[in-house]
Amino acid sequence: MEAKLSVNRQNAISRIDKRLYGSFIEHLGRAVYDGIYEPEHKNSDADGFRKDVKEVVAELNVPLIRYPGGNFVSGYKWEDGIGPKEKRPRKLDLAWRSMETNQVGIHEFAKWAKEVNAEVNMAVNLGTRGIQEAVECLEYCNFEGGTHWSDLRKQNGSVEPFGIKTWSLGNEMDGPWQIGHKTAEEYGRLAAETAKAMKLVDGSIELVVCGSSTSKMPTFGDWERIVLEHTYDYVDYLSLHCYYGNKENDIGNYLAQSLDMDRFIKTVVSICDFVKVKKGSDKQINLSFDEWNVWYHSNDQDKELEPWQVAPPLLEDIYNFEDALMVGCLLITLLKNADRVKIACLAQLVNVIAPIMTEKNGDTWKQTIFYPFMQVSNYGRGVVLTPHVESETYGSKDFAEVPYIETIAVHNDETDELVVFAVNRSEDRDIAFTFEEEGFELETITEATELAGYDKKDTNATNHDLVKLKEKSEVVLKDSRLSTVLKPLSWNVIRIK
Ligand code: AHR
């Protein structure tokens, strides 16, 4: 089978906002406690954070990390996480029915995030709390000094404000599972008034308002419209969340689900633009896909866990090779929509549906999905070029026409490098792939790698080094035309100068 990707320098989708490669750390399971924070571990720093974990996080080059939830935030009192650690309260976390010790709070997390070179995307609790607490949290974090909350921050050790730029107005407020679940009207009003007040404290912040928890919610569509009708003038981004899985063990249909993500994004863009027209506004609302990933492997085992544990092993999906291909398809889909998706967060980062796993008192290791995310985050910077793709298609259970190839090219105008990302979705057919460009003068292939040749269900759980990048051979560049073979079920990255 053959497939072709053509691009033209003059024809770009958008400059990529680096926050497209954000991630997420929630007070959930072993993400914080026994994940990034394990004071007893031999590799921990003076603050109790694992240095080995920080090093692996840094490899992913995530510019933004959403915190502290997730469902957790809808019952969270941010003040419980400040002041002397020994005085911080132990609280029931109702969202995950766990015990929250509050040994990590905003000071510790902000410092950790800075060390891994990431900004914090801070969520406020609009489940059990409201405008006042959100405004106070912002004042505590960002106000210079001379007020009760900003001086308390100084007293607690941070003289300089945290300077948090991106804020989320609650989490998944459309979901009946959410503590303080609201109707679109109720949430829209609360979010608008909270946003208004927060921007009075700090006009430089950007705000993300909650869209639907998935496109399968019965309120999807109406929720976005109503919430935006209330909040349009005060917010900057609308959120989308989606998790995928291969429960039916049908890889053709599984890998096709990135088409669902594409449709979801385009539908939400239409709703944003509909409200824009209705309001006669000049302002454009962009999207924050602030939870996306594969999540299904751990669903059954999570039902067996005893409640009220500190750091229970929740949502510990062990990813296999086919999940890495799926994450590759989802990343390419986000890039294809980079004109409107400005923020995206791989949910999550450590231990909880994560690319990075840690063992208590032990090692840290990389899941299969680590590799596509690492490569796109590091090399997918600059401008994403409009892809013209020629490919055969197949039909799957839920999708009529699925291209065998999912592909995109990015031009990094700082390093003047062109990078091609491609997934071959076929289980048994090679793709003879050509890449053609206009407007660049390409001379050398600087790196070509692939994830290929594994069993679909191979994981890195036992042999932490099993699924990993390999050098890709037989990549030929001649007269600005690149040709190579994409092996069946493969993730491919080719960097050209
Ligand atoms: O990321 C795990 C959970 O998924 C988050 O807490 C919630 O927002 C979503 O339902």
Q: How far apart are CA 83 and CA 348, in angstroms?
A: 27
Residue 487 structure tokens? 């092996």
pLDDT in tens, 427-481: 999 999 999 999 998 999 999 999 999 999 999 999 999 999 999 999 999 988 9
Residue 91 has pLDDT above 90, yes or no: yes
Nearest alpha carbon, ligand 1 atom 4: 70
CA distance 102 to 249: 40
Q: Is the CB of 70 under 6 A from ligand 1?
A: yes
Annotation marks residue 291 as catalytic: yes
Residue to mutate (ligand 1; options 174, 213, 291; most atoms within 8 A of CB): 291
3-state SS class at 73 = helix
Q: What is the DSSP letter of 460?
A: S
CA of 274 to the centre of ligand 1 (A): 28
What pLDDT was estimated at residue 479? Answer: 87
Above pLDDT 70, what percent of the chain? 100
Q: What CA–CA distance (Å, rounded) separates 376 from 485?
A: 20
Q: Report the Cα 475 to chain-centroid distance in Å.
A: 31
pTM beyond 0.95: the answer is yes
Q: How many CB atoms lie within 10 A of CB 72?
A: 25
Instruction: At 179, list the tokens.
Output: 């503590």
Residue whose CA lies nearest to ligand 1 atom number 7: 70
Catalytic annotation, pick one of 26, 38, 136, 172: 172
Going 459 to 324 to 327 to 350, the CA torsion angle's sign is positive
Domains of the chain: 4-8+386-496 (2.60.40.1180), 17-379 (3.20.20.80)
Q: What is the ipTM of this complex?
A: 0.99
Cα(279) to ligand 1 centroid in Å equals 32
Cα 207 from Cα 341, distance rounded (Å):
14
Q: Count CB-CB contacts under 10 A for residue 297.
A: 19
What angle (nearest 5°) sits at the alpha carbon of residue 25, between those of residues 21 and 28?
A: 145
Q: What is the pLDDT of residue 398?
A: 97
Tens-digit pLDDT profile for residues 218-236: 999 999 999 999 999 999 9
| Residue in 442, 432, 431, 453 with CA at minimum distance from that of residue 409 | 442
Task: Give yes or no for residue 291 CB within 6 A of ligand 1.
Answer: yes
pLDDT single digits (tens) 295-337: 999 999 999 899 999 999 999 999 999 999 999 999 999 999 9
Number of neighbours of residue 466 by Cβ within 10 angstroms: 14
Pocket test of ligand 1: the residue of 24, 28, 65, 71 to mutate, having most ligand atoms within 8 Å of its CB, is 71
- Is 353 within 8 Å of 31 (Cβ atoms)? no
- Terminal CA-to-CA distance of the chain, rounded, Å? 27
- Looking at the chain, the whole-number percentage of residues with pLDDT higher than 90 is 99
257: pLDDT strictly greater than 90: yes
